[in-house]
Structures are given as structure tokens and as C-alpha cells.
Amino acid sequence: MGKRTKLVSLLYIIITIGFFTWFIMVMIPHLKYNLSSFDKEYLQYYSDKFVFVGDEEYPPFSFNMNSMTKGYEADIIRAFKEELNIDLTYKQMNWSEAIEALERGEISVITGMQITEERKEKYLFSDPYLVTTQAIVAPRELGDVSVEDLQYLRIIAQKNSITHDIALENNAGEIIIAKDPLEAMELLINGEGDVWIENNMTALYYLRLYNENHSYNIKILEETTGHYAMALSKDNSMLADIINRVIYTLHKKGTIGILDNKWFGIVGHRPFQEIPRYFYITFFSYILLTCMFLFYLWNTTLHYQLNKKTNDLKKTNHLLQEERENIANLLEGIATAFATAIDYRDAYTGNHSKRVARLSIKTAEEMGLSQKDVFDTYVGALLHDVGKVGIPDNILNKTGPLTPEEYNIIKQHPVIGAKILDVIKSYDTIRNAVYYHHERWDGGVNTPFPSYLGTVKEEEIPLAARIIAVADAFDAMTTDRPYRKALDLSEAIKRIEIDSGKQFDPNVVTSFLKIIALEEGEAII
């Protein structure tokens, strides 16, 4: 086993130990939430400094009756005291005043608050111990009131509460602030507001208290469902951890279930009873990591064999490359032989195909074409007149002017050449170069040097054919023909320039003239 493999294996073992430790903590929560002796000693030592506060008018969660603290949260704090066997300070106060006191650091914990993203920026929360929902309370004569209707109504809501936020978010027509749910209920009954937004359980409590549950509709706002927890200042993380462990301990003993039944008539849902979403993500990530590790080990065991196979493949590729080069050389030789045969037939164009091929390959290289495209252009140039084997000798070697009928026969040599090359598979570029090498850039058919086919123009003409067209014309102008003497170099260049953008591709002309300028004075033709 190599050094790298040992390091990867060690890293995987460390990750595995960490994963299974975390896995056990998630799947067996009491290991995470178990109260230690240190937790109890810490609370006993600081018990006189910790102040727990509930809302004084938020039944059935927290309220004051006859100067006695009542409600679900009050009972939870009493259960805290019994479980920890310490004396904790618990009191109730106005909700807005409690919020301000927590922010000033005058109290330690608000015993119940619905968690929102905005509040998480301000406060530290314990693990949620309830799921709560807000509701719209409206007189029955108003019918079914939705959040979309709030902008047209007078809304009663408590300041600094979720209900106030809901009213603001839905552009309430008018917001009437109540100091607590009791005042809000009285404002609704007295007609000073149209609807009241409140926690579902609190609204039910007051409607029953006032015997008004048959006069009002309660519409539960499912989208407001959220977790309910204890809120602490941001610097109180140790106390938050201890609260989490106490809540879980009370849950396991059944104490919280009893309080659920007492105050709500049902057993509430505990978020820590859920398997968190991130558990599945982490679990499957570990499975993926394990698969990757096993694959790595498998890959390592095959490394030597793969290296050997790779070396064998390199040798094979080298042989294949040599074979490809041999085939290319064979194709070039065949093309050269064809070109030589054609040139022998035409008494006035000896070595014409080779000269056109030389000019074409230099132009293609100047234009930056790939090695394959340069080769295809070169072979296409060698074979561009291969179709002349189908032209009768009396026309091909005629010394006088051609008749229109004879000229039409001459114009068929690209078509004949393309048909000859149809048998060569995988070399369409070469065939098309031969087929289209007499096409004009502007597609003109009624000009002194018209397109032979007249079916394509500009970029539709294959690039190899456009290159060969310029080289072919240039060589024709600079060699003797039966009907005229060769033009000098400067005159031939001038004519190429004049027909740039007309008969010839301007880009090809630019590159072609560069190579002519570089080789001017040398025997290139």
C-alpha cells in the first residue's frame, strides 16, 4: 500500500469515527440531551441571577389570574424547578415590556416566543418545544376573511408580536394596537376593529371565556405555522443548552405530555422528535464518501494493470499513427498520380495541378487551418481537374476559341470529378473542393468568368474550394495558354485584387497575396 493510499485510508477512518459518533447522538437523543451534574451545579450557582419571564396575558401559554402565575409555560418552569431541585425566578409581565427587558439584559429568558428569521438575528433560541399557528378572528357576518382582505379592514394586533408583523406584511388598512390579547378581544367585541389576528390557541381561549365562540369565525393561517421556543440573549448559549436538556428530560418522563393535555387537550408535536433534514443529507453524503473510498481502493489495486495496459495502448496508437501516415502518403501519391495523368492530357497546363496544390497548401497554412484541413485542401487541389478525364481530347486541347456547346462540356469537369471521388469515403472535404472550385464568391453566372454550377455563394462554398479557386486562377493567368501569353506577376496580382469580393473570397485573397509577397522573386511556379 502506497503512502498516498495510507493517508486516504487514515482520513476515511477519522471521518467514519466522527460520523458514527454524530449518528448515535442524532438517533439516540438522550445521549445529547442527558443532564449532567455540572449542568445542575451551574444552575444552582447562578440561579439567583437567572430570571425567567412569561407574558402576563397570553392564555393558555402564560397569564396571571388572581395574582398567581398560570399557564402552560408557568407549569413548565415549575417542572424545571422540581427536576433540577433549585429555585428559579419566574414572573410575568407585559409582552412589549418583556421584549425590552430582554434586550437590555434585565431578564435571562422569555419562556415562549415563535421563531422567525428576523428574531433569530436578535435572540438566541432554545430547541423548539411546540409548533404554533396564528389565526384571523372575524365576526361571522364578515364571512370568510383571508389575508388578501386585510388591506381593506381595521386590524387589531399586539405590538412586538407575530400578529403585528402579519398585519404589516399584508398592508392592513388600519392597525389598532392592543397591549395584550385581553384588550384585543375587548376591542373586537366593542366594534373598534374589524378583525383580530392572534395565536390560534389564545384566540380560542378568549372566545370561550367570553362565550363568543359562536359569534366569531377563526381562520387558521397555515402559512404562519412556526416553532415555539424560549428566547435568550445572544451571549447565553450555556443556559440555552441546559434548557434544551431539561425540556428533553421532561419530555422523556412524560411531564410535558401531561401539560399538553392539561392546557391544549392534545399532546403537542415536539420538533426534537423529528429526524432533521440535514441528517439525511449527511447520511447519504457519508454513503457517497464510502462508495468513493471503496472505488479509490479498487482503482489503486488496478493501477499497475492499468499502467501496463496504457503502455500497450501507447504502442498500439503509435502503430496506428504510422498506419494513418502510410494511408495519407498513399492517398497523396494516388492524388499526385491522377494530377500528373490529367496534366499529361492537357498539353498546355503541364504540372498545373502541382502548382495549384503548392499555392493552396501555403494559403491554407497562412489562414491557420488545422493540419487535417490543410491536407484535405492540398489533395483537393491536386485532384481539382480530375474530372477532365471525361472531357474529349479535341475539346480539352483545342487551340482556338471554344463554342458555347464545347464550353458547357468543359464546365462539367467539376461534376465528373466529384462523381469519380464519390467512391472515396470519409473524404467529403476533398470531393466538395473538387465539385465547387469554379464557383464565384458573389455567385454570378452572367459574368466573364461565371460560376460553373451557380448553386452556392460566399460562405456556402467550402473553404477548400475557395482557396483552390484563387490558386487555380492565379496559375492560369501566369502560364501560357493557346489563346494568350502568360501575364506578368504584377498584372496577375492586380486582377486577383480587382476580383476580391466578386469572383474570390476576400479573406482567401488577403492570405494568398501575403504568401505571394513573401515569395516574390522565388521560383514558386
Q: What does the pLDDT look like over 216-251, one tens digit per residue?
A: 999 999 999 989 999 999 999 989 988 988 888 888
| Among 273, 297, 313, residue at a domain's last position | 273
Same domain, 259 and 373: no
Q: Which of 8-12, 303-307, 369-373 has the lowest mean pLDDT?
A: 303-307
If one counts every other C-beta atom within 10 angstroms of the C-beta of residue 213, the result is: 14
pLDDT of residue 194: 94
Q: How far is Cα 53 from Cα 444, in angstroms, rounded to an integer? A: 94
**Residue 6, in any domain of the structure:** no
Q: How far is Cα 157 from Cα 172, in angstroms, rounded to an integer? A: 11
Same domain, 351 and 268: no
Q: Which residue has the cell 409582552?
A: 95
Question: Is residue 199 scored above 50 in pLDDT?
Answer: yes
Same domain, 229 and 368: no
Quote the pTM value. 0.49
Rg (CA), the chain: 46
Tell me the average pLDDT of the chain. Answer: 85
Nearest to 110, CA basis, from 122, 66, 118? 122
**Residue 14, in any domain of the structure:** no
| Among 213, 245, 273, residue at a domain's last position | 273
**Residue 322, in any domain of the structure:** no
From residue 149, how far is each of 162, 352, 365 by CA, in Å? 18, 90, 75
Over range 90-101, report the average pLDDT: 94
Confidence of residue 72 (pLDDT cuts 50, 70, 90): very high
pLDDT of residue 293: 81
What letter would DSSP give residue 401? P
Question: Is residue 2 scored above 90 in pLDDT?
Answer: no
Same domain, 180 and 93: yes
Confidence of residue 339 (pLDDT cuts 50, 70, 90): low
Q: Residues of the chain with pLDDT > 70: what percent? A: 86
Same domain, 238 and 366: no
Cell numbers for 454: 451557380
Question: Is residue 22 scored above 80 in pLDDT?
Answer: no
pLDDT of residue 525: 43
Give yes or no for a contact between 144 and 126, defined as CB atoms under 8 angstroms apart: no
Tell me the residue range of the domain where 421 lies. 346-523
Q: Which of 60-74, 163-177, 259-273, 301-315 has the lowest mean pLDDT?
A: 259-273
Confidence of residue 312 (pLDDT cuts 50, 70, 90): confident
From residue 222, how far is each of 195, 219, 225, 226, 335 by CA, in Å? 17, 9, 5, 9, 81
**Residue 26, in any domain of the structure:** no
pLDDT of residue 284: 85
The CATH number given to whatever domain includes residue 205 is 3.40.190.10
Q: Which of 149-153, 342-346, 398-402 has the lowest mean pLDDT?
A: 342-346
pLDDT of residue 7: 83
Q: Residues of the chain with pLDDT > 90: what percent? A: 43
- With both helix axes pointing from N to C terminus, report the angle between 352-366 and 303-345 in degrees, rounded to the nearest 10: 140
pLDDT digits (tens, 9 = 90+) for 261-295: 888 876 555 555 555 676 678 888 888 888 888 88
**Residue 246, in any domain of the structure:** yes
Confidence of residue 524 (pLDDT cuts 50, 70, 90): very low
pLDDT of residue 140: 93
> Higher-confidence residue: 303 or 25?
303
Beta strands in 390-458 (DSSP E): none
pLDDT of residue 438: 93
| Among 245, 273, 301, residue at a domain's last position | 273
pLDDT digits (tens, 9 = 90+) for 39-64: 778 877 787 788 999 999 999 999 98
Same domain, 381 and 516: yes
Q: How many domains does the chain have?
A: 2
Same domain, 66 and 176: yes
